[in-house]
Amino acid sequence: MKARIARFARAGGGTAVIAMAARVSGQFAMVAVTLVATRHLAPADFGVFAIAGALVMLARTMLYTGPFEYLLKLPCEASQPQGAGACLAATVVVALGWIALLTALGLAAPFVFRGGGVAPVILALAPSVLLGALAAFAESLMLRSGAVRRYYAITVLAELGAGLVAIALLVAGWGLWALVLQIYARTLLMALALGALGPPLALAAPPRALVATVLRWSASRFGSVLVSFLANYSGDLVLGMAFSPAASGLYRAANRMVTALADMFVQPAGMLALTTLAADRARGEGEGRPGAWPRLAALFAVLGWPALALLALFAHRVVPLALGPAWAAASPVVAVFCIARMAALVTAVATAELIVTDRQGRVLGIQTLAAASTAGLTVLAAPYGAFGAALVATLVAVLAAAVLALTALERRDRPALAEAARLVIFPLVGAFGAGLAADHAFGTSAPVVALALPLACAAAGWLLAAWPVIPALRRAAALLAESPRPA
């Protein structure tokens, strides 16, 4: 039995490592593009893309919820071919609606945002949403088939390829349009690769009633995405309207820097939790295994939280080295955003549990309250600039994550939650404590030494603290391998 568990843990751990490695590659590409962009674009230009990119990101995120999730959890016998056809049709309907809305927003942009340049970028990016719809549907099919490793391999190639395109165009002097073309390049590469390497599927024209059923089920999920967008991007939009795109650029550059690190853990945690828990549901496992979602959250938090804590601790050293001295004002914003992204990991896994158990309406309610709070408080905090907006967003993100976790938590999950807390706390304290002590010892050294030595000490502290919890880590990793995949 122990040998069987060990095999499951190795397989599940391998999946988790591949997922995180894929995100590392993707975030490496994003960081590389950001570093080049901050040296070729002024903060105002970066802010223009931040505002336009935020609106397009909302449209694209809509494609990865609703029908995307409905197909993942659909019983196997119902998914071929009309069920899949209904999900594809619903995705295309959503994409066309967003293209029309983005066009209207682009035309109205000169009257809403201070400064110029936002409108043409929005209008240029709007058609990419339809291409994104095809990629999203193909991703859902591949994840449903259980080919998670192949999915992440394709993601790596698309992210790196699009990143290289953007960097080459930035160096060649294309400015903002290099970032616009990066989005098209990534989406096109994803769509072509997923279509060519994905599972074979014979689609049938679905009845309108089935498409309507998918859209009705998805309504609350679309609402959740909308309110999450308001919570995540209120700062960009409010600063752009109240001050200038330059303030939005400072805010977004800090956010992107933190996201580059956090997304290595948050995105795989949410995606693998959703596919693992949905697979149980699709195979008729009923309520699933007790304590599964807290253990899955801990599996990624044991790595992600210490890394984010260390970035917050050393933000005043990392930001000037990474973005250049002109962006030093982003350091405190980066530190605050690290806390928000720690909360985002809990939110991602708890939300997956609530979606799979058909409690997505509660997710919508919690996220609506969080978005309204963020938007309102951001307006009040706008006089304090990017730091005030980041502080408000972080406070609301932490409270929303706590409420979502309590909503997803059931009595049968409580023992696993206590185990997950012990699993995460020791490595977090070990890494942060060692890094803090080393910072006091070497903080007056040369900039590179003052950063490298404390990080090395923090890594050693993490290893020493994580060693006793390796058995619990293996049990959590085994969940990813044990979970049956839909055919």
**Residue with more model confidence, 322 or 314:** 314
Q: Which residue, among 91, 87, 123, 88, has the nearest Cα to 105 in the 3D structure?
A: 123
List pLDDT tens digits, range 57-69: 888 888 888 888 8
Classify residue 359 as exposed, middle or buried by CB count within 10 Å of its CB (0-12, 13-18, 19+). middle
Q: What band does 9 get if pLDDT is binned at 50, 70 and 90?
A: very low
Pair 178, 170: CB distance under 8 Å: yes
- Whether residue 25 has pLDDT greater than 70: no
pLDDT at position 115 is 58
**Residue with more model confidence, 343 or 390:** 343
Q: What is the largest CA-CA distance in the chain?
A: 69
Compute CA distances 440 → 15, 431, 450, whole Å: 38, 15, 9
List pLDDT tens digits, range 71-125: 877 765 544 677 788 888 999 999 999 999 999 988 888 877 765 678 888 899 9
Residues contacting 434, CB < 8 A, separation 6+:
457, 458, 460, 461, 462
pLDDT at position 244 is 57
Residues contacting 389, CB < 8 A, separation 6+:
234, 235, 238, 239, 251, 378, 381, 382
List pLDDT tens digits, range 259-274: 878 888 888 888 888 8
Q: What band does 6 get if pLDDT is binned at 50, 70 and 90?
A: very low
- Whether residue 10 has pLDDT greater than 90: no
- Whether residue 487 has pLDDT greater than 50: no
Q: Which residue, among 408, 410, 270, has the nearest Cα to 349 in the 3D structure?
A: 270
Please state the separation of Cα 379 from the chain's center in Å.
25
pLDDT at position 94 is 92
**Residue with more model confidence, 320 or 280:** 320
Length of the chain: 487
Mean pLDDT over the full length of the chain = 79
pLDDT at position 340 is 92
**Residue with more model confidence, 286 or 355:** 355
pLDDT at position 261 is 83
Q: Look up residue 51 and give its two tokens.
A: 């505002």
Which of 15-19, 178-182, 426-430 is predicted with the least confidence, judged by mean pLDDT? 15-19
Tell me how far apart the alpha carbons of residues 20 and 27 are, in angstroms, rounded to a whole number: 10
pLDDT at position 373 is 85
pLDDT at position 270 is 84
